[in-house]
Amino acid sequence: MALALDFPKVKAIVESYTEKVDSLIDSYADKKEELISLLQDVQAEFNYLPRDVLIKISQKLDIPLSQVFSVATFFRAFSLKPRGRHLVTVCLGTACHVRAGQRLVDKVERDYRIKPGETTEDMKFTLETVNCLGCCALGPVAVVDGKYESQMNPDKLDRVLRGCK
């Protein structure tokens, strides 16, 4: 059987991404100081910071790669690894902590065998923790794909995750 890959199509996708990345980086050409915000834009596009893009940023904006890398690893918001289709963020702020937010993390760790910062093998879920989402009145809080889930318990979180395709 012939390989079912449609090469022209793949090529087109790759090219469109290259174009997108180039124009994104170029739009920061005269504002090198906004590196953090450029990295945020890249992450919004790819869900993580691909190695090639970091190298490209360094070359195009003439910032040492070491500096790009140090910023990309210093801030919590950035991930250097691809993340799953569904992002599960559990808040571990003080208010959520005293209302047993940690047990939500335990539940996901146990059921999906991933620790915070890791992604399941099938790329379905990435688990992350955050130090406060500012919804302290509703804790414990988890955010699944951008949707805030309030007053959670392990059981409720389980139901939400089962609903993810």
Partner 1 sequence: MVEQVRKLLEKRLGSTAELENLRRSILRKREPSRTCISVCGGTGCRASGAEAVVDALIDEIERRELQINVELKETGCHGFCERGPVVVIRPKRIFYQRVKPEDIPEIISETVLNGNIIERLLYVDPVTNEKIVYEPDVPFYKRQTRTIFGANGEIDPTDIEDYIAVGGYSSLNKALFQMSPEQIIEEVKRSGLRGRGGGGFPTGRKWQSCRDAEGDIKYVICNADEGDPGAYQDRSLLEGNPHSVLEGMIIGAYAIGSHNGYIYVRNEYPLAVRHARIAIEQAMDYGLLGGDILGSGFDFTVTINKGGGAFVCGESSALMASLEGKIGEPRAKYIHMSEKGLWDSPSLLNNVKTWANVPLIINKGAEWYSQIGTVGSKGTMIFSLVGKINNTGLVEVPMGITLRQMIYDIGGGIPNGKKFKAVQTGGPSGGCIPEQYLDTPVDFDELTKLGSMMGSGGMIVMDEDTCMVDVARYFIEFLKGESCGKCIPCREGLTRMSEVLSNITQGKGKREDLDILEDLAGILSGGALCALGTSAANPVLSTLGYFRDEYIAHIDEKKCPAGVCRELIQYSIDPEKCEGCLRCLRACPTGAISGEKRKVHTLNQGMCIKCGACYDVCKFDAVIKQ
Within 44-83, the residues that bind partner 1 by CB under 8 A are: 67, 70-71, 74-78
What is the closest distance, in whole angstroms, from the C-beta atom of residue 99 to partner 1 in the complex? Answer: 7
**Region binding partner 1 by CB under 8 A among candidate stretches 5-13, 15-23, 80-88, 103-111:** 103-111
Q: Please, are residues 42 and 21 in contact by the beta-carbon 8 Å criterion? A: yes
CB of 9 or CB of 162, closer to partner 1:
162
Q: Is residue 139 at the binding interface for partner 1, with CB under 8 A as the rule? A: yes
CB of 17 or CB of 41, closer to partner 1:
41
Question: From the list 45, 85, 87, 154, which residue makes contact with partner 1 (rule: CB under 8 A)?
Answer: 154
Q: Which of 125, 122, 143 lies closest to 133 in space, CA to CA?
A: 143
Q: Please, are residues 89 and 103 in contact by the beta-carbon 8 Å criterion? A: no
Q: Is residue 141 at the binding interface for partner 1, with CB under 8 A as the rule? A: yes
CA 66 to chain centroid: 22
Question: From the list 18, 27, 59, 94, which residue makes contact with partner 1 (rule: CB under 8 A)?
Answer: 94
Q: Please, are residues 104 and 157 in contact by the beta-carbon 8 Å criterion? A: yes
| DSSP labels, 83-127 | --SEEEEEE-SHHHHHTTTHHHHHHHHHHH---TT-B-TTS-EEE
The H helix count followed by the E strand count for the chain is 7, 4
> What are the φ/ψ torsions at residue 23 (nearest 5 degrees)?
-70, -30
**Region binding partner 1 by CB under 8 A among candidate stretches 1-9, 15-23, 48-56, 144-152:** 144-152
Summarize as ranges the residues that interact with partner 1 (CB under 8 A): 32-37, 39-40, 67, 70-71, 74-78, 92-100, 103, 106-107, 110-111, 130-139, 141, 148-150, 153-155
